[in-house]
Amino acid sequence: MKRDPTAALTTLMTRPYKYIRLEWSEELAALRLRTCVKPIQCYSLAAMAELQRVFSDIAENPGLVKHYVMTSDVPGVFNFGGDLSLFVLLIRARDIESLRMYGRRCIDLVWWMENASKLGVHTTVLVQGDTLGGGLESVMPFHKVIFERSAQAGFPEVLFNLFPGMGAWDFTIRKAGFAIANEMILSGRLYTAEQLQRRSLVDLIVEDGEGEAAIEAVLRSVNPRLRGTLAALEARRHAAPITYESLMTIVDQWTETALQLTDRDLRLMERLARAQVRKAGGGNEGAVAEIKQIELDTAWGEERTGVTEWGAFA
């Protein structure tokens, strides 16, 4: 039975969300989702549950939402990615089930994004500020990726002996190729918006403060040819397929790897988590500065001893 679109929209827009804010544009049938996860802008379990609720509402009402746009309400931060303090807690509790559950919930969100074209939804993301690890992974499946010039991103997981397990490999290989995926994931480096655009991971760079106008321009340019665009994007999925099985296999491997992290690795993860709080609390220096410091410390350690040594952080 087909649902009443007005009732469906009312349901979607009036649910009591805590970490996201929704806006609706009638003219373009565009749903704007703004994230503001407290106290740290990351993919906490509660925030992911809200995102999943929105995605389910969209999927249950085909044709209702034609454009999905995601942005952050937190100044200077798009998303810090995985909930590092939760990881530390679950790893210390040797709780593989919950870690796996966390990873699989991430994959379910990524998989929904991957299937958005099939659902008749064009997706656009605007990144204003830092986006790390899972934050960058969550950006990858969007059809249109806009970065403001000062935004930075990367996969720092290797710095604490982990790897990004929620779609980074599949989506980076699809968009940028194997060599670049290798470089980005294995180096743990941070990249500027321009460096990411050169690697085909960002479609459009705009000056700081011009992101909102860029979203509007993208929606208005895609909307008249939406059906054709979605059909082409759907065909792209067949040309360069990403499978749910591959994503799940990788996230399961991520879980096993996470459980093998040592106390040193966990302390490094905690250090990064604390840096995220500093940034979330309005500080200028946050996780990005911390990663740069860790990179420097590592390079210094390598130069001095010839090996990467994390003992200094233990």
- Please tell me the distance from the alpha carbon of residue 149 to that of residue 208, in angstroms, as a whole number: 6
Q: 72 pairs with which residues across the strands? A: 35
Among 97, 207, 208, 302, binds another protein (CB under 8 A): 97
Spatial CA neighbour of 153 closest among 175, 168, 170, 165: 168
Q: Are 116 and 137 in contact (CB under 8 A)?
A: no
Is residue 53 near another protein by the rule CB under 8 A?
A: no
Peptide bond into 39 cis (omega under 30): yes
Spatial CA neighbour of 109 closest among 209, 220, 33, 18: 33
Q: Which residues within the stretch 135-164 sit at the binding site for another protein (CB under 8 A)?
A: none
- Please tell me the distance from the alpha carbon of residue 172 to that of residue 175, in angstroms, as a whole number: 5
Q: Which residues within the stretch 251-290 sit at the binding site for another protein (CB under 8 A)?
A: 263, 267, 270, 273-274, 277-278, 280-281
Q: Which residues within the stretch 68-87 sit at the binding site for another protein (CB under 8 A)?
A: 85-86
Among 8, 20, 29, 44, binds another protein (CB under 8 A): 44
- Please tell me the distance from the alpha carbon of residue 119 to that of residue 61, in angstroms, as a whole number: 9
Phi, psi (degrees; rounded to nearest 5) at 152:
-130, 150
Among 89, 231, 232, 296, binds another protein (CB under 8 A): 89
Among 7, 46, 232, 240, binds another protein (CB under 8 A): 46
- Judged by beta carbon, residue 53 or residue 274, the one nearer another protein is 274
Q: Are 141 and 70 in contact (CB under 8 A)?
A: no
Residue 80 CB, shortest distance to another protein, in Å, is: 12
Among 95, 203, 210, 295, binds another protein (CB under 8 A): 95
Residue 82 CB, shortest distance to another protein, in Å, is: 13
Helix (H) / strand (E) element for 32: namely: strand 30-35
Helix (H) / strand (E) element for 222: namely: helix 211-222
Tokens of 300: 């210094």
Among 6, 27, 94, 304, binds another protein (CB under 8 A): 94
Among 10, 21, 45, 208, binds another protein (CB under 8 A): 45
- Please tell me the distance from the alpha carbon of residue 286 to that of residue 278, in angstroms, as a whole number: 6
Residue 12 CB, shortest distance to another protein, in Å, is: 23
Residue 37 CB, shortest distance to another protein, in Å, is: 10
Is residue 41 near another protein by the rule CB under 8 A?
A: no
Residue 249 CB, shortest distance to another protein, in Å, is: 22
Q: 118 pairs with which residues across the strands? A: none
Is residue 235 near another protein by the rule CB under 8 A?
A: no
Among 3, 15, 21, 92, binds another protein (CB under 8 A): 92
Cα atoms in the 13 Å half-sphere on the side-chain side of 50: 20
- Judged by beta carbon, residue 28 or residue 96, the one nearer another protein is 96
Q: Which residues within the stretch 179-218 sit at the binding site for another protein (CB under 8 A)?
A: none
Q: Are 131 and 78 in contact (CB under 8 A)?
A: yes
Q: Which residues bind another protein (CB under 8 A)?
A: 38-40, 44-46, 85-86, 88-90, 92-95, 97-98, 101, 263, 267, 270, 273-274, 277-278, 280-281
